[in-house]
Structure 1
């Protein structure tokens, strides 16, 4: 009886502990999204009724819509470049014996251990030294720098012996190296490439520090939201933050359905 009671008490404590953890993580997001539908002018309790007026104001704001388009462009282009570079680096280090391969791998993934602030400041100093102005192009380079190591790590971890055997067979049948790369390796690495691309898009989409340091007039959505917050909280800023959250979740759901769903089907 004591064991059963103790077990029940332990289970209840575990449930309370898990509930507290989830509340700590998700309660700020729930509050953000809830008060983005606030009918009043201030995102504070009590909740005064459901309204889409702030999302309508968000869409009508040309600065926010321009920042939204900028974020989408930077995320798409930088993620595509990061995946391409990460894939080529992973292919070279996995399929060929290169001098100092271990050191090269460590150097490629090293940015994952460095603060975005340090990377952004380093890029800012470098771009100033070579005369490159602040721009979306500079921010895109920064996003490639932080996302390429992640893409490399994902793709490299999925390069197994079965792909190498298929590549050898294609070469034995007369395929050229570029044909092996595009027609054999890339299709077989499709799930890993999709995963790397969508994760890069997610990180690029809501990245703030590097975008803030490397842009001036044309800014991304997180930088524009930060500019709005300087004038105080209002439901419009909640709507903008909720939009970033919804798009990030949508990207993760697409990743789950496109990559992990395919694996489960197999």
Structure 2
């Protein structure tokens, strides 16, 4: 009976990580098909990925969209959280609900809605419109994380700074932001991770310059190959690196 919890944990982790393990393993396949038997190891497909200009351009586009949209979503989320936490506004509960509501809406609905609005406004589809869509889906997350971290401790420090003669801008920049830095960094890294992997909105709101998930989708249309496994492994590596950075910079700092 004591072994049952360990068996359950092993099965759960196997169910979660077995597909990723197969993806990484067959990215080192020496042949042209990512299926057993394993023929390798070989770095041929990683060299092919790194020499593919379209994939590298899509990788750069994904990084630009992820970092830009995460920064804007965090800034807007912080300002909204600060305003609703520090000032009594009419209907503040309704405003908070409306800010968090997009988290419950499908990305497909958000993307289609933005596509209709952009077409009505006559704005061309580009990486900027994809970044705008990612701001829409990440802003509620940033707001929820930062708003949940605002407590009486920060408010007392802000009052002390005002009593010492600091204006509102200096209070926010030198007191509020440093005290909320773990929450802001957590929101930023999570937003980057979600934007980095997002496909539906990026597919609907881009045209010629595309992000990496869209480029991978176009490769998959011609069938599976170890090259798609290699680029998928690189995407997984970047995502893991972001999560580890979040753990070390934010949660590790909080524990110390």
Bin the TM-score by the shorter chain.
over 0.9
Aligned length, in residue pairs: 256
Q: CA deviation at 1:22?
A: 1.4
User: Does structure 1 residue 198 correspond to structure 2 residue 162?
Assistant: no
* Structure 2, unpaired ranges of 5+: none
Q: How does 1:173-184 map to 2 (within 5 A)?
A: 173-184=164-175
User: Does structure 1 residue 75 correspond to structure 2 residue 63?
Assistant: no
The structure 1 residue matched to 2:243, chosen from 215, 234, 252, is: 252
SS of equivalent residue, structure 1 residue 108: helix
CA offsets, 1:118-141, max 9 Å, x none? 000000001001011111000000
Paired position in structure 1 for 2:112: 121
TM-score norm. by structure 2 comes to: 0.99
Paired position in structure 1 for 2:55: 64
The structure 1 residue matched to 2:11, chosen from 20, 28, 33, is: 20
CA distance in 2, matches of 1:233, 1:115: 28
Paired position in structure 2 for 1:261: 252
CA distance in 1, matches of 2:72, 2:224: 36
The structure 2 residue matched to 1:34, chosen from 25, 38, 48, is: 25
CA distance in 1, matches of 2:234, 2:204: 23
**CA radius of gyration, larger in:** 1
CA distance in 2, matches of 1:32, 1:261: 30
* Structure 1, unpaired ranges of 5+: 1-8
CA offsets, 1:122-178, max 9 Å, x none? 000010010111110000000000001000000000001010011111111111111
Paired position in structure 2 for 1:150: 141
Q: How does 1:214-225 map to 2 (within 5 A)?
A: 214-225=205-216
Q: CA deviation at 1:12?
A: 2.6
